[in-house]
Amino acid sequence: MRRIISLIATVLAVCLVVLGLACGDNPPNGPDKKIPEISSFIAQPQDIDPGSQTTLSWRTLRTDSLWLLPLDTILLPGENDSGSIAVNLEYPTTYSLVAYNTYGVDSASVSVTMFSAAAEIIDVAFFPLRVVADQTSTLSWKTIRADSLVIDQGVGRVDDPDLGNVIISPVQGAWYRVIAYSVYGNDTAMIWLTLSSRSAIEPLNGLYFKGIMEDSTTHLPMQFAVVDDSGHYLINQQIQLSLVAGDGSLDPRSILTDSTGVTEFTYGFTGNYNRALIRLNITGIPSVYADIRTDALVPGAYGQTQYILFDDTYEQVVAFNGQPASVDTYEGHSIMYVNYESTLGVVVMLYDRDQDRQLYDTSSVYGVIVNTSYQGQTNTTPPIGVGSSLADLRAVWGDPSRLYYEEPRPAIVIGYDSIFTTFYGHWEIGMTDTLVEEIHFIEPLIVK
């Protein structure tokens, strides 16, 4: 059918050229000598269903005869130079009307469409919409009434125009044009695929996490994302995990960002080490480190208490424990006291070496004091903490290296620095109940 229409249109074009040349020999138009004029040529309705009927109507002036294409029908002008004809159509068609008289020719066209039966793109999507140079994206589509489907950017014609997908390996960000074809009409959709560069591994809820011995659950999920240079989360990004410090269980050893661009992992404190430092790495961008600690009271070479280590900075102390109630200073002292006593039963001592009474994020921990409201204990048998007895201390560590009364009595000091060579501390024990009231950890606690 379309070949027939094309042939007739070609014949019409030739005829119009011939007629136009002939008209060139006609004398100039005078008051009574004018070429014909088609004042209107319409189809009603102009958009129909396949097999339905439309009416072609026209109005002309000074017409001797009319030629209707592609019906190849000669028509008389009709009464008042107007007329109409009803036609049934199976395919969209463009009709041409040519008007003749002795002095020349005029023509007009009207197209009858069938958009209700045209090809329609229901959905077209990239997943993911952002990829990096070594990744691919899947372009999927869904159409109805399509005879064929073509995608530009070198993809070409696809096998299944109705439903399918194709893998794209982009070399740059680009628009992709999807065209669904049908003899009744076409449809076009455009979709952009972004080519990104990885910029950073972004922690979504911090880098410091509180854990519990024999448990892989932290107080916050350890969630991370990979972002591009525009700050967008990238999906299907693999992050390698490695255990820098710790003797527990890291699961898994690599993680993949999900359809929202987020991933997470767990670490179980299954050993005796109460701290884990985990490196997250993707080649080509800076690594980040997740620091996970328990609340155990640990004297000795790898000591900690209230999630604090003796090589920590003030920034790390606040990251684990929040803002202190106060920071106390004393004239002429090189130590500042970060006070959590009312909430945690903890006072952290930090260096103030220049004695300017200013605390900085990089100020380092000198020691920690815990008092009667502190809940942490050692992982020993029996566990040692505030409230332990002198007998408990001797059961775990034997006789102390120092044992003496401190004024004003009834305080007593017990030192175990001879057993923990990098540890110095003292317990203040009341004379009547012989229970630990305070524990002082003083640097050096960690071998450096």
- Helix (H) or strand (E) holding 7, with range, is helix 2-23
Decide if 55 contacts 44 (C-beta within 8 A).
yes
Q: Does the pLDDT of residue 202 top 50, yes or no?
A: yes
Asked if residue 252 lies in contact with residue 222, where contact means CB atoms within 8 angstroms, the answer is no
Higher-scoring residue by pLDDT: 62, 29 = 62
pLDDT tens profile 386-423: 888 878 888 888 888 777 776 665 667 777 765 443 33
Contact 95, 86 (CB under 8 A): no
Please say if the pLDDT value at position 243 is more than 70.
yes
pLDDT of residue 379: 81
DSSP 30: B
Mean pLDDT is lowest, of 108-112, 137-141, 215-219, 257-261, for 215-219
Statement: residue 296 has pLDDT above 90: no
pLDDT at 359: 84
Lowest-pLDDT range, 30-34, 38-42, 224-228, 313-317? 30-34
pLDDT of amino acid 33: 64
92 pLDDT higher than 70 = yes
Distance, in Å, from the CA atom of 181 to the CA atom of 150, rounded to the nearest integer, reads 8
Residue 319 has pLDDT above 70, yes or no: yes
pLDDT at res. 367: 84
Residue 400's pLDDT is what?
A: 82
Percentage of the chain with pLDDT > 70? 85
To which residue do tokens 């952290």 refer? 348
How far apart are alpha carbons 427 and 393 in whole angstroms?
Answer: 10
- Contact between 22 and 28 under an 8 Å Cβ cutoff? The reply is no
Q: Are the CB atoms for 397 and 416 separated by under 8 Å?
A: yes
User: What confidence tier does 424 reach under pLDDT thresholds 50, 70, 90?
Assistant: very low
Higher pLDDT, 4 or 138: 138
Specify the pLDDT at position 16: 41
Q: Which two tokens stand for residue 15?
A: 């005829």
Q: Check pLDDT > 50 for residue 26.
A: no
Is the alpha carbon torsion for 316, 317, 319, 324 positive or negative? Answer: negative
* 341 within 8 A of 347, measured Cβ to Cβ: yes
More confident residue, 392 or 281: 281
Does position 301 have pLDDT exceeding 70, yes or no? no
Sorting pLDDT into bands at 50, 70 and 90, what band is 432?
very low
Read off the pLDDT of residues 108-139 as tens digits, 9 standing for 90 and up: 999 999 999 999 999 999 999 999 988 999 99
User: Which pLDDT does position 15 carry in this prediction?
Assistant: 41
Amino acid letter at 207? L
Q: What whole-number distance in Å separates Cα of residue 81 and Cα of residue 62?
A: 8
> In the chain, what is the straight-line distance between the N-terminal and C-terminal CA atoms, in Å?
89
- pTM score: 0.69
pLDDT given at position 427: 53
**Per-residue confidence (pLDDT) for residue 81, from 0 to 100:** 86
- The whole-number average pLDDT for the span 240-249 is 93
H or E stretch including 367?
strand 365-370
Of all helices (H) and strands (E), which one includes residue 123? strand 120-127
Q: What is the pLDDT of residue 186?
A: 95
Strand partners, 41: 58
Residue 447 pLDDT > 60, yes or no?
no
CB 183 within 8 A of CB 92: yes
Closest CA to 282 of 232, 236, 226: 226
Phi, psi of 403 (to 5 degrees): -150, 110
Residue 431 has pLDDT above 70, yes or no: no
Q: For 327-383, write each residue's pLDDT tens digit.
A: 998 877 788 999 999 999 999 989 887 788 888 899 988 888 888 788 888 888 999
Round the average pLDDT of the chain to a whole number and report it.
85
